[in-house]
Amino acid sequence: MKLFWSALAKFLMGLLLVGILLFLPAGSFRYLNGWLFIGLLFLPMLLLGTVLLIKAPDLLEKRLNAKEEEAAQKAVVALSALLFVGGFVVAGLDFRFDWSHVPLWAVILASVFLLASYALYGEVMRENAYLSRTVEVQENQKVVDTGLYGVVRHPMYAVTLWLFLAIPVVLGSWWSLLCFLPYVAVLVVRIRNEERVLEEGLEGYAEYKKRVKYRLLPFVW
């Protein structure tokens, strides 16, 4: 029950925060793209959280823990949060002042892409029981090299990258997309630091790096 209330509190706080960041700058609740995004993000999140609570409460607890120990990762998390806050606020302002026009087909395509990314997010969590929101080596942790982990070394980051780049298009704002783009560079810094931590503390990770060459995108990086 403690885990349930903790998860519910964070879910409601996230919902409230995103709502404020979108609708306050928009100056109106008639921001339909904002409602679309909230539905696409929080309904699957609620479903996934319920499944984890029933099937894998330990994994859910790890995902709720976002306290980083590494100094470099603390900076990465802070910068990421700043980018996302800026992206949401700009999207709301874009709606209010009609800065950009995203065609309906692009919004629909981005919505499908966001849902597909979320489905892959769930698959990555199913494959890796050690998946934490913080960079760490856990007790008895083993290298996962099956499924998506056999394609790229960081499928979770690959999925979140496409998910986050779809967000501003769903919100109907090209200017917001410019705010989200630096997340790519932030993600590269996080991955490089995480791989150093894993190679130093996780047995077999150095060999895994040799078998799976690409970190984020096959044939690219």
> Per residue in 136-161, pLDDT tens?
555 556 777 777 888 888 888 888 88
Residues in the chain, how many? Answer: 221
- Per cent of the chain over pLDDT 90 is 34
The answer to whether position 6 is within a domain reads yes
Residue that has been written with the tokens 């096959």 in this structure: 218
Is the alpha carbon torsion for 109, 115, 120, 124 positive or negative?
positive
pTM exceeding the 0.85 threshold for the entire prediction: no
The answer to whether position 218 is within a domain reads no
The answer to whether position 216 is within a domain reads no
DSSP string, 160-213: HHHHHHHHHHHTT-HHHHHHHTTHHHHHHHHHHHHHHHHHHHSTTHHHHHHHS-
Instruction: Supply the pLDDT for residue 146.
Output: 78
Q: How confident is the model at residue 191 (pLDDT cuts 50, 70, 90)?
A: confident
Instruction: Supply the pLDDT for residue 39.
Output: 94
The answer to whether position 64 is within a domain reads yes
The answer to whether position 219 is within a domain reads no
81, pLDDT greater than 90: no
CATH at residue 13:
1.20.120.1630
Lowest mean pLDDT segment, chosen from 95-99, 188-192, 201-205 = 201-205
* pLDDT, tens digit (0-9, with 9 covering 90-100), for 94-123: 999 999 999 999 999 999 999 998 888 878
Instruction: Supply the pLDDT for residue 140.
Output: 55
Residues 6+ apart with CB under 8 A from 24: 92
- For residue 183, give the nearest of 86, 83, 78, 98 by alpha carbon: 83
Q: How confident is the model at residue 80 (pLDDT cuts 50, 70, 90)?
A: confident
Q: Which domain holds residue 202?
A: 2-211
Instruction: Supply the pLDDT for residue 221.
Output: 85
Q: What does the alpha-carbon distance between residue 190 and residue 145 come to, in Å, rounded to a whole number?
A: 20
Q: What does the alpha-carbon distance between residue 2 and residue 150 come to, in Å, rounded to a whole number?
A: 36
Q: How confident is the model at residue 178 (pLDDT cuts 50, 70, 90)?
A: very high
Instruction: Supply the pLDDT for residue 97.
Output: 95
The answer to whether position 221 is within a domain reads no
* Most confident range, picked from 128-132, 141-145, 166-170, 179-183: 166-170
The answer to whether position 188 is within a domain reads yes
Q: How confident is the model at residue 63 (pLDDT cuts 50, 70, 90)?
A: low
Q: What does the alpha-carbon distance between residue 194 and residue 182 come to, in Å, rounded to a whole number?
A: 19
The answer to whether position 217 is within a domain reads no
Q: What is the mean pLDDT of residues 2-6?
A: 80
Domain count, the chain: 1
Instruction: Supply the pLDDT for residue 71.
Output: 63
- For residue 172, give the nearest of 115, 88, 91, 83 by alpha carbon: 91
